[in-house]
Amino acid sequence: MRNESTKLWGGRFAAEPEAVFLDYSQSIDADARMAAEDIWGSEAHVLMLGVQGILTDEEVRAILRCLEEARAHVEAGTLALDPADEDIHMNLEKFVIRGAGAEFGGKLHTARSRNDQVVTDSRLHLRNRLLDVLEALAGLQEALLARAAGQERTVMPGYTHTQHAQPISVAFWLTGHVAALMRDGQRLLAAFDRADACPLGACALAGTSFPTDRALTARLLGFARVEAHALDAVGARDVYLEALSALAILHAHLSRMSEELVLFSTYEFGMVELADALTSGSSIMPQKKNPCLAELARSRTGEMYGCLIQGLTMMKALISGYNRDIQQDKPPLWAGLDLAEQTLGAVAAMVQTMELRTARMSELAGANFATATELANWLVSDRGLPFRRCHEIVGSLVRRLIEERKTLGDARRVAQLLAELGVKAKVAELDFLDPLKCLERQRSLGSTGPSETLQLHVVLVQALHDGRREAASRRRRIARARGRTARAVKHVLRGGSLADCKL
């Protein structure tokens, strides 16, 4: 008597899988978090099969009853998942078969495949998690805007090449990050929208001969549209790569902010002090206060890039259709989403609680020739000299001041040296060499001038509001679809017929 497989797909097989196979191929760890989505997907699928007459109301009811039971287990955290059943789909199908019997439960998998099921589940989960990340992103932007508010005249040195460039305001510095993060929000939303198409019903790769209604399934699951081409729907993973790319670029931005926090909170810069509660000490050096949160946020950028590379490498040179390779789409995707949400929270916490050392900022802004450009510009606009000539004059002037260990704050000496260089200027005329006065003169669109920065602030607050509204409307659409499915399930379980159920 020959050995036979106990797998749901085992008819053709003469032997059970070995442990090495099960260990290496199970995906329960990455799947577990999609249990609720898998159930929702099955509900929608079964309701559709019922509406289309592929299953009877009675069959639909028996299956839905078990699915409700499974959902209760999921919500209570008591659903037992057996790695020997490979994935979440097989675990739940077996649960239904055990509960409803093979006669009824065995009909759940009609007109679908794990290939379309898994990508449906993961898109459902991705949608929610992207909205969570967008919320955390908005939280960070709000924190930055809150700290920027009222700081349009708080002077600090603006840097290029990590060298003093020109005076800027704290508000200008912080809103700069908000502006960059806006584009991250747009990219994440675009990834959401690209993923917002329903693959369910594509079946294994070729569709099916059952008279399914894929638009109905999509509507019940709150998808914006059907991912029509069956071969493409089950075998493509580019929307996940797009999400990972957007997350990687976002994390690059977060690494830049983290770097600034590390740098600005050094003894040498001293412009920022991080909250005690968000830093840590040393096991050996008693005086240390280390910006560990910022360092870790900077470091984990590598983790995010790694997730992206994992996904890209995985997809290289796979032929069309489902290949088991792409089971590994989920670990980097979930890791990336979780990481982004956490890092956004960590950076926001630092931003909210950091102390801005404005006296030190002001001191630095005046210490190292940051107003030299304005002096050159003034020579252009007030004296009508060509900019390139002014640049030379001021360059020579700066060199002289460095030799004399003086700064542009010494307006008298500046006036003397200008005279030597052929430009007559009164000391009083040079008041813009003060960093704050210099700042106030900037007036081009998007500049660090107070009124321009205020205008940037207003625009960014509005954009943040609009972005949140976009996310909220998607969140509501999903909730509405979930409610629609739940009501239909309740209707059927109460003995109602699908014929009189509005879907």
Using the rule CB under 8 A, give the single segment among 64-72, 142-150, 422-430, 441-449 that binds its own copies: 441-449
Is 258 a residue of the active site?
Answer: no
- Contacting residue, 381, 451, 462, 497, with its own copies by CB under 8 A: 381
Which residue in 72, 296, 419, 472 binds its own copies (CB under 8 A)?
296
Stretch that binds its own copies, among 28-36, 137-145, 271-279, 475-483 (CB under 8 A): 271-279
CB of 86 to its own copies, least distance (A): 7
Q: Which of 187, 406, 413, 475 binds its own copies (CB under 8 A)?
A: 187
Determine which residue in the list 6, 25, 451, 462 makes contact with its own copies, applying CB under 8 A.
Answer: 25
**Least distance between its own copies and beta carbon 439 (Å):** 8
Binding window for its own copies (CB under 8 A); candidates: 88-96, 119-127, 129-137, 145-153: 88-96
Q: Rule CB under 8 A: is residue 377 a binding residue for its own copies?
A: yes
Question: Is residue 128 a contact residue for its own copies (CB under 8 A)?
Answer: no
5 as an active site residue: the answer is no
Among 95, 104, 223, 334, binds its own copies (CB under 8 A): 104
Answer yes or no whether residue 93 interacts with its own copies by CB under 8 A: yes
Q: Which is nearer to its own copies, 271 or 492 (CB)?
A: 271
Q: Which is nearer to its own copies, 433 or 471 (CB)?
A: 433
What is the closest distance, in whole angstroms, from the C-beta atom of residue 413 to its own copies in the complex? 15
For position 175 contacting its own copies by CB under 8 A, the verdict is: yes
Residue of 25, 280, 282, 381 marked active site: 282
Per-residue DSSP letters for 363-424?
Answer: HHHHHS-TTHHHHHHHHHHHH---HHHHHHHHHHHHHHHHHTT--TT-HHHHHHHHHHTT--
* CA angle, 89 then 90 then 91, to 5°: 90
DSSP line for 440-455: HH--STTSSSHHHHHH
Residue 301: both structure tokens together: 């950028």
Q: Is 147 in the site for its own copies (CB under 8 A)?
A: no
Contact residues for 484 (Cβ-Cβ < 8 A; gap 6+):
219, 220, 503
Distance CA 107, CA 59 (A): 8
Check residue 456 for interaction with its own copies (CB under 8 A): yes
Question: What is the Cβ-side half-sphere exposure of residue 461, based on CA atoms within 13 angstroms?
Answer: 11
Q: From the list 41, 50, 139, 311, which residue makes contact with its own copies (rule: CB under 8 A)?
A: 311
Kindly give the pairing relationship between strand 225-226 and strand 197-198. Answer: parallel
Tokens of 220: 């019940």
The Cα–Cα gap between 41 and 480 comes to 15
Window of 146-154, 293-301, 423-431, 480-488 that interacts with its own copies by CB under 8 A: 293-301
| Shortest distance, position 502 Cβ to its own copies, whole Å | 22
Question: Is 288 a residue that touches its own copies (CB under 8 A)?
Answer: yes
- Asked if 322 is part of the footprint of its own copies (rule: CB under 8 A), the reply reads yes
The verdict on 62 binding its own copies (CB under 8 A) reads no
Q: Does 326 bind its own copies (CB under 8 A)?
A: yes
Between the two ends of the chain, the Cα-to-Cα distance in Å is: 51
Mind giving me the DSSP string for 65-131?
HHHHHHHHHHHHT-----GGG-SHHHHHHHHHHHHHHHHHHTTTTTT--HHHHHHHHHHHHHHHHHH
Q: State whether residue 28 is helix, strand or coil.
A: helix
Partnered with residue 241 across adjacent β-strands are none
Residue 149 is a binding residue for its own copies (CB under 8 A): no
Q: Is 362 in the site for its own copies (CB under 8 A)?
A: no
Residue in 65, 99, 328, 470 binding its own copies, rule: CB under 8 A: 328
Binder among 1, 209, 405, 499 for its own copies (CB under 8 A): 209
State which of residues 130, 397, 414, 433 lies at the interface with its own copies (CB under 8 A): 397
Q: Which positions from 214 to 253 touch its own copies by CB under 8 A, shown as an x/- string?
A: xx----------xxxxxxxxxxx-xx-xx--xx-xx--xx
- Among 98, 146, 345, 431, indicate the residue that binds its own copies (CB under 8 A): 345
Residue 463 in the binding site for its own copies (CB under 8 A): no
Tell me the residue type at 118: V
Query: Does 8 participate in binding its own copies (rule CB under 8 A)?
Result: yes
Q: Rounded CA gap, 173 and 193, in Å?
A: 32
Burial 3-13 (b: 16+ CB within 10 A, else e): eeeeebeeeee
CB 42 within 8 A of CB 88: no
Length of the chain counted residue by residue: 503
**How many angstroms from the chain centroid is the CA of residue 254?**
11
Compute the distance between CA of residue 388 and CA of residue 398 in angstroms, rounded to an integer.
15
Which residues are part of the catalytic machinery?
161, 282
